[in-house]
Amino acid sequence: MTDQSLKTDAEITWCKGCGNFGIFTAIRNAISKLEEKGIKPENLVMTAGIGCHAKIHDYLNISGLYSLHGRDAATAQGMKIANPELKIIDFSGDGNGLGEGLAHTMFAAKRNQDFTMILHNNSVYALTTGQFSPLTEKGWDGPSTPKGSFEPPFNAMSLLIEAGATFVARCFAGKVDHLTETIIKAIEHEGFSFIEVLQPAVPYHAWSEYNKNIEFLESEPKSKEEALSVARNAHRFTLGVFYQINREVYHKELYGDHNPVLNKLSRDKRLNIIRKILEP
């Protein structure tokens, strides 16, 4: 393994031209830039769900836990609660984070758990042969929807703002610099930061589909109401930070400045307290 490139020696099995490569480049750029800013790579820990997005866990050379499909947001929260000094990056997918793991994503936002979820949105269950996902537009001709999908997709931006996320942005795997900068902002943000990354899965979607539609927000909305309104009305290819606010994070509400792993109570102290509790 070579630390400098932040790449492991695992064989990369994403399709040629996959949008995941853009995300992979951006996260490595972001980690290098964060190191210049004083955030050491060893303090960054990742987790990932299951799906094409999650393969990044094998490729990116930082520590982490390759979780189950949809459970990565819960894993991330457990990592953070145990040791709040760690900065957690959770790689998720549209099916992973808004299908199987929807409850965990919503509650991470509700609690303002301090970690970053990067949700690779390829609008399809790619690894399982192209079924429609929670972010797929109506009319998708997939193997599970032979007459075309008829469920409307979630709007990830408004959904996350409403649920309580305190940093909500959309990026595009084809705009690597913008993505890199947004990832840095998200990791630096204290609280639950969510980035939806539009990411073409080439067997299913052409880059041109994205390139011709991409546009940027003119300005960052100032209030939650404005952010919700912008998020609801914006085109699904609209990029930018939709919402950012400061709110007390979960672990501080839970135990203040304590750190369960670094400030462990000694065995003797524990036993003394237990003795007192067990006094008749």
Partner 1 sequence: MKNDVFTFLVGGKAGEGVKKAGSVVAHIFSRMGRYVFQMDDYMSLIRGGHNFSVVSTSTRWISSQYMNANLIVNFDKRSSQVHNNDIAENGIVVFNSDEQEDVEGIGIPLSSEADKYTMKKLMYGVGAVAILASTIGFKKSEMNDIIKNEYPSGIEDNIKFADTIYDLVKNECENKFPLEKGDKERVIITGNESISLGAVAGGLNAYYGYPMTPASTILHFLARHAKEFGLAVVHAENELAVINMAIGSAFSGAKSMVGTSGGGFALMTEGFSLAGMTEAPVLVVLSQRPGPATGVPTYTEQADLSFALTAGHGDFLRIVASPGTIEDAYYLASEMLELVWKFQTPGILLTEKHLSESSMTVEINVEDAKWAEPKLHQGGEYKRYLNTEDGVSPLLFPPSKEIIKWDSYEHNEHGITTEDAQTIQFMHNKRGKKINALIDYLKNKTTVNITQGEHPLNIFSYGSTYMSVLEALKYGKINPTVIQPIYLNPLPIWELEKFKDQKNIVVEQSFTGQFSNLLKEKAGIPIKAIIKKYDGRPFDPIELYTRIKEVAE
* Contacts to partner 1 by CB under 8 A: 1, 8, 10, 40, 42-43, 45, 47, 50, 55, 57-58, 61-68, 71, 74-83, 85-86, 103-104, 106-107, 251, 254-255, 258, 260-261, 263-265, 267, 270-271, 273-275, 277-280
Considering beta carbons, is residue 68 or 202 the nearer one to partner 1?
A: 68
> Minimal CA–CA distance to 77: which of 129, 103, 115, 48?
115
Closest contact distance (angstroms) between CB of 132 and partner 1 is 23
DSSP string, 5-68: TTB-SSPP-SPTT-THHHHHHHHHHHHHHHHHTT--GGGEEEEE-SSGGGGHHHHB-S-EEE--
Q: How far is the CB of 82 from partner 1 (least distance, A)?
A: 4
For 171, phi and psi rounded to 5 degrees?
Answer: -130, 180
Task: CB nearer to partner 1: give 108 or 241.
Answer: 108
Tell me how far, at minimum, the Cβ of 220 lies from partner 1, in Å. Answer: 30
Distance of CA 113 to the CA centre of its chain: 12
The amino acid sitting at 63 is S
In angstroms, what is the minimal distance from the CB of 181 to partner 1? 25
Looking at residue 47, its amino acid is: T
Distance, CA of 101 to CA of 95 (rounded, Å): 8
Which residue, 20 or 136, is less far from partner 1 as judged by CB? 20
Q: Which is nearer to partner 1, 174 or 260 (CB)?
A: 260
Q: Please state, in angstroms and rounded to a whole number, the distance separating the CA atoms of residues 221 and 233.
A: 13
Pick 57 or 170: Cβ nearer partner 1: 57
CB of 7 to partner 1, least distance (A): 11
